[in-house]
Amino acid sequence: MEPNEAQELQEQAEHAEHESSLRPVALTMTVLAVLVAVITVLGHRTHTKAVLDQNKATDTWGEYQAQKTRSYNTQLTIDLMKLMPLTDKEEAQKSVEEYRKHQAEWAEKTSEEFKEARALEAEVKLAETHAVCFDLSEALLEIGLVITSVTLLTRKRAYWYVGIGFSLAGIVAALAVFFLK
């Protein structure tokens, strides 16, 4: 064996030693990349849920407003019928009774729609809070991944520990979703 070959083998052995000491860093980066992907998907789905719930709430408020408008217009009609000289008082009284039945039905329906709209608004707020937690989690995990990758360039483990710290904070932010009700 020539001296150059011995020196090359020694350098390769040192390089392999450095590479094996960085395996935990590479594994950490792999796990973080998977977590970022999962949290990103969960965040997107949560944002979509918030938008869909907001649309439902808006539709329900529209129905509520329509019922209130119908009821108001019916009350105006009843009031006008009381003031107008009518030729057929019995027919007018039947119409007023029918209008009052409709108003009673609408009152019940508007009460239900009001409660439903409020419940949907609460769901929207919760979904938005969850989405914020997922967004924060995603950002912290990405920061952790980038800082951890600096370890491969610098060969200094301090970056790995800082990256793990950011990543743990990201995991805590994601888990917070399950405790927010």
Query: Is residue 16 scored above 50 in pLDDT?
Result: no
Domain boundaries, the chain: 25-179
Q: What percent of the chain has pLDDT over 90?
A: 47
Identify the residue with better confidence: 63 or 169. Answer: 169
- What is the rounded average pLDDT of the residues 132-141? 96
- Per-residue pLDDT reduced to its tens digit, 22-51: 888 889 999 999 999 999 999 999 999 999
The least confident of 29-38, 81-90, 136-145 is 81-90
pLDDT at 13: 44
Greater model confidence, 7 or 60 = 60
Q: How confident is the model at residue 9 (pLDDT cuts 50, 70, 90)?
A: very low
pTM (2 d.p.) = 0.72
DSSP 117-159: HHHHHHHHHHHHHHHHHHHHHHHHHHHHHHHHHHHHHH--HHH
Task: Find tokens 């200094």 and name the residue.
Answer: 156
Residues 6+ apart with CB under 8 A from 47: 127, 131
Greater confidence, 20 or 173? 173
Q: From CA 128, how far away is CA 121, in angstroms rounded? A: 11
Does residue 147 or residue 155 have the better pLDDT? 147
